[in-house]
Amino acid sequence: LKFQKKISGVGLLIIVILVAFDMVMCWYSFPELVFPLYIFPMLIAGCSTHATIAHLHKKLNAEMVHFDGVLLLFAILLAYSTYLGIASAFFLLIHAFFPLLRDPLIYLLGKMGLITRVTPRCLLFTQLLCTVPVMVFDAYAAMLLFDFFVPVTGRMGVSINPEYVMMPLSLFVALSFVLYTSNLFYVSRRMDYPMKCGSLLYCLFFLSLLTTRLGWPYKYSDESPRLRRLITLDTERSIYPFRSSSPVREHALFVQTLDYRGINDLPEHTFLTGNNEPNCSDTKDEYCRLPYYTAIHQMFPPRESRWIPLPNHPRITKPISVVNTEKLVLSKSEVRMNFTIFGGVDKMSLHLTPLSGFVVSSWSFTNFEPSTFGKRNTYFVFLTESRWIPLPNHPRITKPISAVNTEKLVLSKSEVRMNFTIFGGVDKMSLHLTPLSGFLVSSWSFTNFEPSTFGKRNTYFVFLTYGAEAPEHRAFWIILRKINSDGINEEDLDETPLLEISVATHYAHGPHQYSETLSQLRSLITSRRKTPHLAVGWWKWAITTIAGVAEIVMNSDGVNEGDLDETPLLEISVATHYAHGPHQYSETLSQLRSLITSRRKTPHLAVGK
């Protein structure tokens, strides 16, 4: 236990030093650095502990006691994991079986006359031979863990320090090695000199990590890029104050970093370095009326983002408008509100924040279960999925579909072939095939039909083509329930804010994805990430970014087609993201992408680049 505590203490001390010297994730660009950074000093700590104990407390058969104790430990763990049915118990079997062959192998060598007595050197080589499979599997498992977790640490946000993930993984590897070498210290000479040399070597390594490009967290290369990940949205935000139809419009660059080094570690540039975090003091919206790409505000809170005002407005081809079409009192504690959203593109989301003591009771999106969603202030709703909402008027179908059964042919006593021709439709079509009257699908013309592949089902869903367009408008309803027992006063209903709604849309593809700003930013990134040697600190330009134009509209209860209600019931923020197309990148985003692309390739040109 003493050496385990010492190894863990060394790992925690390394984390403290890395944080103090701003070297968090210094291994990110070169994951193999985890071995000399964490595992090597842990090995020194564990081995030096056993060497000291062996020198101070010399006991008979201490080597055998330690070795057999380790075997007994792994045997118990193996038996317990096998009893639980854990599939990875074979890993413990490797740790128990191969080292168990050491003593029989020594006995066999003695019977063959190859050795006359058991010397420390004989123990060393025999134990090394028996533990080679253990070392190989440990090294392989460690590399698999690092290959998986290192990329993940670049997307974990600021909630978890990635050093607390890498240190336990390193501890696992170091502990396995020390357990199967510690017994040798009780039959060998003092190891003070090798331990001191190892400590000095580690100090030199850490110094080089601190002062050279070896410790840069991010590097750009065509073969193996290790880049900082950003979300940059050139955003047009419209906030409709309560009892007002005149919005407060803002144009800014919304910047989020996805790793632990955070927003303050970005390179110095007008596009990336705002002075203040977003002001969220005047809203209960957990997303701070910001056009979040997805519901990740806990891993990436608003305070860890930047809202950087810009002079030029992006091109919003489909501006959002929110209409509160109806407000209906259902009971003393429930109000139903109907909304229609016009505009936006195919990537939209809602932020629904009940106000004035109300909570969400039901809505039209899906079956609302409070136990599923949990207690929260704001509900994040994706609008990319469809719902069947009955409407009075029929839409205009330019290419109506007709399916014609051209032939029905009996192939055998149990099989019937049916030929169909489908007319009309557009570039996105699908079929629902449901056999009836005790029949099953035996074969079809789409592909080779294998029942074992598709499984047993009532209906088969068949894609005919791919592609989609954003709908012209989206209608939904939501029922709010009063928490307290006072009930709802219909006369005061229009004087009380019930709900805050933020609607966001992202131009994530297509010709409108990049504004002029975004194009400049992308160009800047593209050029500077290739030349980190041109300026101090330019290694920070080793960036890749998800960029696009976004729009977010916030309303209190929505905007009524007639006169505005006297009281806000709901604050609506409507956001749209231009994630594709010609308008995806604004001018600011284009500049930022260009800046990142160029500077991430030349981190050696300036300190911090």
Q: Which run of H or E residues covers position 16?
A: helix 2-20
What is the mean predicted confidence (pLDDT) over 271-292?
80
Given this model, what pLDDT does residue 464 score?
A: 54
**Same domain, yes or no: 256 and 211:** no
Q: Does the pLDDT at position 191 exceed 80?
A: no
- Of 494 and 338, which is predicted with more confidence? 338
Whether residue 453 lies inside any domain: the answer is: no
The reply to whether 534 falls in a domain is yes
Distance CA(281)–CA(42), nearest Å, equals: 46
Residue 509 has what pLDDT? 73
pLDDT of residue 465 exceeding 50, the answer is no
**Integer Cα distance of 390 and 364 in angstroms:** 11
Lowest mean pLDDT among 54-68, 279-293, 486-500: 486-500
**Banded pLDDT at 264 (limits 50, 70, 90):** confident
Q: Tell me the residue range of the domain where 353 lies.
A: 232-389+397-429+464-609
Averaged pLDDT, 278-287: 84
Same domain (yes/no): 279, 372: yes
Burial status of residue 334 (CB atoms within 10 A of its CB: 0-12, 13-18, 19 or more): middle
Higher pLDDT, 434 or 306: 306
- Mean pLDDT, residues 439-462 taken together: 70
Any domain includes 493: yes
H-run or E-run covering 597: helix 589-599
| Mean pLDDT, rounded, for 523-548 | 82
Structure token pair of residue 4: 């385990």
Q: Which residue has the higher pLDDT, 412 or 64?
A: 64
CA distance 538 to 113: 66
Torsion sign (Cα): 214, 220, 226, 232: positive
Residue ranges of alpha helices (H) inside 220-365 are none
Contact 335, 489 (CB under 8 A): no
The candidate with the shortest Cα–Cα distance to 93, out of 81, 84, 105, is: 81
Structure tokens at 317: 């081809």
Same domain, 196 and 240: no
495 in any annotated domain: yes
Q: Considering Cα of 201, then 204, then 206, then 212, what sign does the dihedral take?
A: negative
Q: Which residue intervals of 300-352 are DSSP H helices?
A: none
Please check whether residue 250 lies inside any domain of the structure: yes
- Which ranges of 21-153 does DSSP label H, i.e. alpha helix? 34, 40-56, 62-84, 89-100, 102-111, 120-153
Tell which wins on pLDDT, 440 or 423. Answer: 440
204 and 292: one domain? no
Q: How many domains does the chain divide into?
A: 2
Q: How many whole angstroms separate alpha carbon 555 and alpha carbon 569?
A: 10
pLDDT tier, 564 (very low <50, low <70, confident <90, very high otherwise): very low
Residues 129 and 188 in one domain: yes
Tell me the CB-side half-sphere exposure of residue 98, using CA atoms within 13 A: 18
Q: Do 233 and 291 meet the contact criterion of CB atoms below 8 Å apart?
A: yes
Considering the domain architecture, whether residues 535 and 420 belong to the same structural domain is answered as yes
User: 563 and 219 in contact (C-beta within 8 Å)?
Assistant: no
**Does 457 map to a domain?**
no
Q: Quick one: CA dihedral 192, 194, 200, 205, positive or negative?
A: negative
pTM of the model: 0.67
Query: What integer pLDDT is reported at residue 588 of this predicted model?
Result: 63
Q: What is the pLDDT of residue 20?
A: 92
For the stretch 345-398, pLDDT in tens is 777 888 888 888 888 888 888 788 877 777 788 888 877 644 444 545 454 555
Give the pLDDT confidence score for residue 387 in this predicted structure.
Answer: 42
State the amino acid at position 101 in one-letter form.
Answer: L
Q: How many H helices and E strands in the chain?
A: 13, 20
Question: Residue 448 domain-assigned?
Answer: no
Same domain flag for 29 and 111: yes
256 and 172 together in one domain:
no
Asked if residue 254 and residue 177 are part of one domain, the reply reads no
Q: Are 521 and 590 in contact (CB under 8 A)?
A: yes
Q: How far apart are CA 287 and CA 379, in angstroms?
A: 10
What confidence score (pLDDT) does residue 215 get? Answer: 87
d(CA 570, CA 556): 4
Determine the pLDDT at residue 522: 86
What share of the chain has pLDDT > 70, as a percent? 73
Q: How far is CA 53 from the centre of its chain?
A: 45
Domain boundary among 186, 215, 244: 215
Is the pLDDT at 124 greater than 90? The verdict is no
* Pair (207, 280) in one structural domain: no
Tens of pLDDT, residue by residue over 2-35, are 666 778 888 899 999 999 998 998 988 888 888 8
Angle of helix 89-100 relative to helix 62-84, nearest 10 degrees, comes to 150
**Which of 9-13, 179-183, 228-232 shows the lowest per-residue confidence on average (mean pLDDT)?**
179-183
Is 436 within a domain?
A: no
pLDDT at residue 467, rounded to an integer: 42
Kindly state whether residues 405 and 468 are assigned to the same domain.
yes
Of 215, 249, 277, the residue at which a domain comes to its end is 215
pLDDT score at 580: 59
Considering the domain architecture, whether residues 167 and 92 belong to the same structural domain is answered as yes
pLDDT confidence of residue 107 = 85
DSSP per residue, 531-547:
-GGGSEEGGGG-EEEEE
pLDDT, one tens digit per residue, over 76-112 is 999 999 998 888 888 888 888 888 888 888 888 888 8
What's the pLDDT tens digit per position in 132-166? 888 888 888 888 888 788 888 777 778 788 899 88
Burial class (CB in 10 A: 0-12, 13-18, 19+), 309: exposed
Cα–Cα distance between 120 and 560 in angstroms, integer? 89
